[in-house]
Amino acid sequence: MDVIGNTIRIMKVGRALGIIEELLGPGMFSSSCMAPDLYEMMAKSAIWPLVKDPPKRMVEIGTYRGISSAVWCQLADSVTTIDVVKQRETTAVWEAVGCRNLTSLVIDTSAATKRAILNGMNFDCAFIDGDHENVDFTKKKGEHETGPALDFECVAKCGRVLFHDYGQPNPPGATVLERYIDTIPENYGGKVVVCPNFAWWFSEENLSKGGLI
């Protein structure tokens, strides 16, 4: 295990979270960003696979306030975040944290546009936190045009996909999201690993490389 490298990456994440909390207000995160047990806390969290095996290029679907993409910028060589609207706070967050390895794309809502953009990109990890609803469970693999099913189909090629809000009752559509994620191994193989508030999907190839948490 690369303890020194892991520690450096965790310290970068902690610094970023501290800046974001100072910018957007206290209480943004459940515990101190620079707590003495930050390493242990991160080792038990959903981002641990990104700490121990940092992506070269990461894609995010669902930018919102820009917080998660600011964190990914501490771990990946480059990050592309995609949304259908531009949030006012994102620029302030990214500038405060110093996200120089970030590309932000605002696209239209069509499935064709999203597929075309992501099909033309190379990336080795993806984070999905967009539309949690609008899954047509009667459609077959490769036919989806909306929601997290479309998002997953666009990024599954990378073999390592992290979903937000798995098992959360409050966000609209979270139960639909959870139901869809549970179907992924049946259609794509691999394995779903559930963490607090998150779920990973690892492809068979990724699992063979030791890609579990």
Tens digit of each residue's pLDDT (9 = 90 or more) over 57-69? 999 999 999 999 9
Q: What's the total number of domains in the chain?
A: 1
Tens digit of each residue's pLDDT (9 = 90 or more) over 152-182? 999 999 999 999 999 877 766 678 999 999 9
Long-range CB contacts (within 8 A, 24+) of 2-5: 2/52
Inside any domain, residue 23? no
Nearest to 66 by CA among 42, 92, 46: 92
| CATH number of domain containing 193 | 3.40.50.150
Three-class SS of residue 193?
strand
Inside any domain, residue 27? no
* Model confidence, pTM: 0.91
